[in-house]
Structure 1
Amino acid sequence: MTVLAPVAPATTPAERRRTTAEVWIVLGLSLGQSGVYALVNIIARLSAPTPLAEQTATLNASQSDRSLLDLVYQLLGIFFAVVPVVLALYLLSGRASATWAGTRRRIGLDWGLDGARPGRDVAWGFGLAAAIGIPGLAFYALGRLLGITVEVQASALNSAWWTVPVLILAALQNGLLEEIVAVAYMHERTRDLGWSRLWFVVWSSLLRGSYHLYQGIGPFFGNVVMGLVFSWFYTSRWGRHRVLPLVVAHTLLDVVAFVGYALLPQEWKDALGL
């Protein structure tokens, strides 16, 4: 068993200011930026003459009518969306007592390193996906019924040989970005700032809900609940500060949503109100 050297938290006012600034920079380049845009978007939706329930949010839209050019755009979008993940990991490993491998072990992103346990991570991931997936569908259906959720089109890519692989990559990108930044990175940095577990869980969950506001009020609350479950699990004796089960769960949920939507016949979508 590898023993990790403890990473000293930010203790001086200057260190805390620097850590706080770093957090805002990382969020400004990633999920925080998405949250601000989503807030403006929901204000625009609520103030529009068309009722919220009659509006549509499209995920994974085509960027070009030319298939290969569309593929290039999709891959570039996925690549640059993952850059903030690398930045967060780089910053976490930047302290004198931290290393790249040690940081990966600390947050449970250690597949490929000695002592990794992919089987258990995958099992927990499937369990979390099942626990979140069914209530998530219920939240969406209830939101549509109450008129507080827009119609979400999970995929609008043109049908091509690369459609399903790209949707799987997009799902993995979402899992890596949201779970590493909103949970693992935020936990490390809020702990550096002396926050309690409760405040971390609340902050992480509200952050997750914020960047889903563009889908309506229902998805905001649904994703806050997902955030509560995921951040609590991460800090629990079962989660053991391992982010990979969360990445697996999130990726599975998005693969089912993206690929399932893309492959579902149009008449089925109409019948289900999708």
Structure 2
Amino acid sequence: MNTHIDLRPVSVEQRTDGSGPRVLLLHGLAAADSVWERALPLLPDAYQLWTARLPWRTETIADWDAQPNLRGWLAQALAAVPDGPEVVVAHSMAANVLLDLLDQKQRGGVDALRRFGIRALVLVSPFYRSGGGEFDWSTISYYLNDFHLIMEEGIRAHSGGRFSEDVQRAMALRVRDRVGPYGWLRFFDLYLRTPSLDTGRVTVPTLVLAGETDFAARPEEGLALAGALPDATARVLPGCGHFPMLDAAEDFAAELSSFVHSTLSLPLQRGAAPLDALEPQR
């Protein structure tokens, strides 16, 4: 049995070798690329599917918060896909890091979408508020004191509820402690900056997927984000929490496949530059 743990900050893995669009999936905070395992077999066989392992994943969560530029790490993942990903699927905090990257002015006037050849985005359970006035002390208290509940939700969704509530809570608190106060501040800083995003820079078709019962990134935030983007559609998946790709893998895969099909005009089937050159500049 292979027990090797890849400790590289960023790596990508090709999961299928289809001849269709290149699709890269990015996991959220304190998760891993295993978050996509239920949905991957349900996506069309023609897709060339890639998953990324990012610095804020479970194995390296204690170290990621010291990195000065999260969007630079995400740019590494995008650049690691040969010829670039045509569709990027980003969950939770990764969606916010991606939006932060797309919000930057690039050297030479070439934006990140064109640099990486991205033709479509799928933002899953993103955090978004349109105005600074929507953040108050109660919001900060909620996300600080109940941060472990998001971890607990992820453990429940991954395990299919096979752990007792006490075990889930204990595991969630351990993950929260590994994230630590600095990690939480990095997450919340991304959230706080969403009102200042220049959403007009996200010029490719975008699907925003939200879970109906998501208590972390509430569905109304996904709807608001879709409304702020130039070319976006929002879908709220019933009965899902913060992890719709686990709670309702078939519905999630169907929504993603339908969007890619209609956006890239594909048949529906079941089934590169150095990092410092990519460094975004204000």
TM-score by length of 1: 0.26
Q: Looking at secondary structure, tell me which structure has more strand per residue.
A: 2
Q: Looking at secondary structure, tell me which structure has more helix per residue.
A: 1
TM-score by length of 2: 0.26
